[in-house]
Amino acid sequence: MEAVFFILVGGALFSQSWNLLGLLAEGRSLGLLIGSLALMSLIALIIDPMVIESELHNSHWVTNNAVFKALIILWSVYLLAAGAQHFLDLEERAVGLFAGFVSVISIVAFLYFVVRFAPETNKYGEAVWLSISVGTLILAINAGLSFFHQAIPFHVIRLVSGWFLLVGGVILGVVGILIGLGTIGL
């Protein structure tokens, strides 16, 4: 579940960065790509968790799964909205305002995972704690930068947002691949 989500959302953020950096001028293909990756990331909801596993490792595994699945749904809806905005060439302020909401919820999820997965309080380990925490922090930062770039027409931050999306997408993809290969695990 976590690996698929991080890989697909990382790919969507990576592709979105090309538009912000001015390397991809055609918005329809970008909207189609982002929308399809968002729909594919919903597949992660039906896949069994790879890192957040069972009550043998943590008594709060149901809550952990619920928070992560809520994050999956939230980011899928946000990426679908961003894909529709690019595909239909709509005004980007509405997606930017939604990015502010997504950023706040991602920060709450980040704080939840930092506290809940802390190595001192459970048996998940430092690698799981770090990978999930870094992933949600990257998502929160990128949504926050998208908010300031799109909702408030602060065009100076366009390149900063593009580079953060590019690097953050790569890091999310690498974390997803490491979780998928079993390098990061219990």
94-149 per-position pLDDT tens digit: 999 999 999 999 999 999 999 888 777 777 778 888 999 999 999 999 999 999 99
pLDDT band at residue 186 under the 50/70/90 scheme: low
- Average pLDDT (63-83) is 93
Counting the structural domains of the chain, the total is 1
pLDDT of residue 120: 76
Instruction: Report the residue count for the chain.
Output: 186
Q: What is the DSSP string of the chain?
A: -HHHHHHHHHHHHHHHHHHHTTS---HHHHHHHHHHHHHHHGGGGTSPPSSS--TTT-TTHHHHHHHHHHHHHHHHHHHHHHHHHHHHT--SHHHHHHHHHHHHHHHHHHHHHHHHT-TTTSSS-HHHHHHHHHHHHHHHHHHHHHIIIIIS--GGGHHHHHHHHHHHHHHHHHHHHHHHHTSS--
What is the per-residue pLDDT for 124? Answer: 72
CB neighbour burial string for 35-67, b if at least 16 within 10 angstroms, e if fewer: bebbebbbebeeeebbbbbeeebbebbeebeeb
Backbone angles phi, psi at 117, to 5 degrees: -95, 10
pLDDT of residue 118: 79
Asked, for residue 129, whether it belongs to a domain, the answer is yes
pLDDT, tens digit (0-9, with 9 covering 90-100), for 167-184: 999 999 999 999 989 887
Report if residue 80 sits inside a domain: yes
We report the CATH number of the domain holding residue 63 as: 1.25.40.600
Cα separation, 69 vs 67, in Å, equals 6
pLDDT score for 57: 53
Confidence of residue 75 (pLDDT cuts 50, 70, 90): very high
Q: What domain range is 96 assigned to?
A: 2-181
Q: Write the pLDDT tens digit of every residue in 18-69.
A: 988 988 878 899 999 999 999 999 998 888 787 776 555 556 778 888 899 9
Q: Cβ(163)–Cβ(169) under 8 Å?
A: no
Give the pLDDT of residue 70.
95
Whether 186 is covered by a domain: the verdict is no
